[in-house]
Amino acid sequence: MCGIIGIIAKGRAIDSIYPGLIALQHRGQDSAGAVTYEQTFHLKKGQGLVTTVFNPKNITRLNGNIGIGHVRYPTIGPGGVEDAQPFVLTVPYGIALAHNGNLVNYFKLKKEIIEKNLRYLNSNCDAEVILNILSIELSKQDLSRFNPDILFDALKGVYEKLIGSFAVVCIVAGKGLLVFRDKNGIKPLVYAQNNGEYAFASESVALDMLGFSDFKDVKPGEAIFIDENKKLFSKQIYEGKKATCIFEYVYFARPDSVIDGIGVYEARLRLGEELGKECLKFNIKPDVVVPVPDTARGSAQMVAEVLRVKHREGLIKNRYIHRTFIMPTQEKRIEAVRMKLNVIRSEIKNKKVLLIDDSIVRGNTSKEIIGLIRSAGAKEVYYGVYSPPLKYPCVYGIDMQTRGEFIARNKSIEEIKESIGADILIYQTVEGLINGVGIGDRGFCTACFTGNYPTELNDEFMEEIETDRIKIKRA
Ligand code: SF4
């Protein structure tokens, strides 16, 4: 999972890209980068947070009114500096590209490109593969006179080759800004226009901060090109079945974002309401409902409302520690939980506490949190999770890609409860998840909960992805 932004502005694009990337920082903390165009590309990228990579000096040289930016969270490759995005190519046009997503057939495509001597690849990043395939498909077009249809026709070939999730922003040098979204729209991509300026981003929060409003979503399978005169061209490249990642609403996106017309905060409130109904079936009588901060706050409030018990902040988060889910190793995640969370004893001691969390992947973080609550003197600890048991790898860009890492894969709910040390464990149902997020909309990817993958996925692809992740996590 990564964050992308693309701007065609009146003034310097980087002046919007930089704050936009800060607004998207939660989507990836491994590397950051931006490229702008004015006569030539001006590129800066590196490892670390946006504020680490960019400084007043390098921002000064990123000239031009058109630009793209990226924050990275590695799901393919080890995530070294050579994998930082955007990538730049010079044939048949100068193209700079950044993407959010994960190609399921990345290893196959990479092998084909190398074996057929089509292009030299310098990274382990699937964005470089997308860029090269776009370049190869563009080279097949009649390039004697540029028009947006050349791009759209090339994209037909690109869509035929790519399997997986991709939301892409590109600069075509001297021509304009091109964006496209995979045929299922697994990854979000939103845009807005304001006074002759266009901005595209993974989440509406980035555009909100830049003063844009009236957001629209790039449709699944749609490509949009804004030329240098700020004229918009759009084409449906591929008709696919919408399958937006439901985990964006559960965990990943910021609560102040709107994805495909659904407010993330509102979705989390409804998820809490659905979980509250599940809790009623267990006939528990907690003294207090406490969210695992920050993601679970809205849901916990709704669970408390449904159960008619107090809602309190009993866990406080150190804001300067990054999200534990996206730490690369389990040891780092546990260490980060201890540094990240502390208890407010007065809200916990001698109480029956119902903790509300967004999800359980491996169970180690939940176990640590329950241990913290018990050590603060809780009488009983119940654990409510507002998503269903995670059992299946995500092959679309969230780093839970190996079958072995899910506690729910081979354990019953009773066994998970024992393993994490809860007195009672209550999960959301799949129906509750879909109803909570979508109010009846069924156009979601729910593969990590249900095993129903929206794209082609064979054993070979799955094994290649798993082998890569296992190798990297052991390194
Ligand atoms: S498998 Fe899960 S995390 Fe991955 S895209 Fe689908 S819903 Fe999102």
Distance from the CA of 127 to the center of ligand 1, in angstroms? 19
Distance from the CA of 44 to the center of ligand 1, in angstroms? 30
pLDDT at 327: 61
Are residues 164 and 104 in contact, defined by beta-carbon separation less than 8 angstroms? Answer: yes
Q: Whose CA is nearest to atom 4 of ligand 1?
A: 394
Q: Whose CA is nearest to atom 5 of ligand 1?
A: 245
Q: Where would I find the H helices in 233-348?
A: 247, 264-281, 297-307, 330-340, 345-348
Measured in residues, the chain has a length of 475
Q: Whose CA is nearest to atom 8 of ligand 1?
A: 245
**Greatest extent of the chain over all pairs of C-alpha atoms, in Å:** 77
Distance from the CA of 400 to the center of ligand 1, in angstroms? 9
Are residues 324 and 365 in contact, defined by beta-carbon separation less than 8 angstroms? Answer: yes
From 2, 170, 394, 448, active-site residue: 2
pLDDT at 217: 96
Distance from the CA of 402 to the center of ligand 1, in angstroms? 13
Q: Tokens at residue 304, please? A: 């408390």
Strand partners, 383: 355, 425
CA 47 from chain center: how many Å?
18
Distance from the CA of 186 to the center of ligand 1, in angstroms? 8
Q: Which of 446, 462, 465 has most ligand 1 atoms within 8 Å of CB, for mutation?
A: 446
Residue-range domains of the chain with CATH: 3-243 (3.60.20.10), 263-453 (3.40.50.2020)
Give the C-alpha separation, 180 to 219, whole Å. Answer: 9
Query: Which residues neighbour 384 within 8 Å (Cβ) at sequence distance 6 or greater?
Result: 275, 278, 279, 303, 354, 355, 356, 357, 426
Average pLDDT for the chain = 92
Radius of gyration of the chain (CA): 23
> What ligand 1 atom has the least distance to the C-alpha of 187?
5
> What ligand 1 atom has the least distance to the C-alpha of 165?
5
Q: Which of 27, 396, 446, 453 has most ligand 1 atoms within 8 Å of CB, for mutation?
A: 396
- Whether the bond between 294 and the residue before it is cis, its omega within 30 degrees of 0, is yes
User: Residue 219's CB: how many other CB atoms inside 10 A?
Assistant: 18
Query: Which residues neighbour 357 within 8 Å (Cβ) at sequence distance 6 or greater?
Result: 292, 296, 366, 369, 383, 384, 385, 386
pLDDT at 465: 78
Q: What φ, ψ does residue 231 adopt, rounded to 5°?
A: -95, 135
Distance from the CA of 205 to the center of ligand 1, in angstroms? 21
Report which of 412, 295, 318 is spatially closest to residue 363, judged by C-alpha positions.
412
> What ligand 1 atom has the least distance to the C-alpha of 447?
1
Ligand 1 is surrounded, with C-beta below 6 A, by 186, 245-247, 394, 396, 398, 445-448
pLDDT at 75: 67
pLDDT at 420: 97
Quick check: is 2 catalytic? yes
Give the C-alpha separation, 210 to 410, whole Å. Answer: 46
> What ligand 1 atom has the least distance to the C-alpha of 449?
2
Are residues 267 and 455 in contact, defined by beta-carbon separation less than 8 angstroms? Answer: no
Q: Tokens at residue 362, please? A: 């491996």
User: What H or E segment, with its residue span, contains residue 67?
Assistant: strand 66-72
Q: Which of 181, 399, 448, 455 has most ligand 1 atoms within 8 Å of CB, for mutation?
A: 448
Report which of 181, 163, 185 is spatially closest to residue 395, judged by C-alpha positions.
163
Burial class (CB within 10 angstroms; exposed 0-12, middle 13-18, buried 19+) of 333: buried
Are residues 216 and 193 in contact, defined by beta-carbon separation less than 8 angstroms? Answer: no
Give the C-alpha separation, 114 to 118, whole Å. Answer: 6
Q: What is the pLDDT of residues 349-385, one digit of tens each?
A: 999 999 999 999 999 999 999 999 999 999 999 999 9
Tell me the mean pLDDT per 10 residues along the chain, length 475: 94 97 95 97 96 96 98 74 93 95 94 87 93 96 92 97 97 97 97 95 97 95 96 96 96 96 96 98 96 96 98 90 59 68 94 98 93 94 98 89 85 97 98 90 91 90 77 62
pLDDT at 152: 98
Q: What is the pLDDT of residues 149-180, one digit of tens each?
A: 999 999 999 999 999 999 999 999 999 999 99
pLDDT at 402: 78
Distance from the CA of 332 to the center of ligand 1, in angstroms? 23
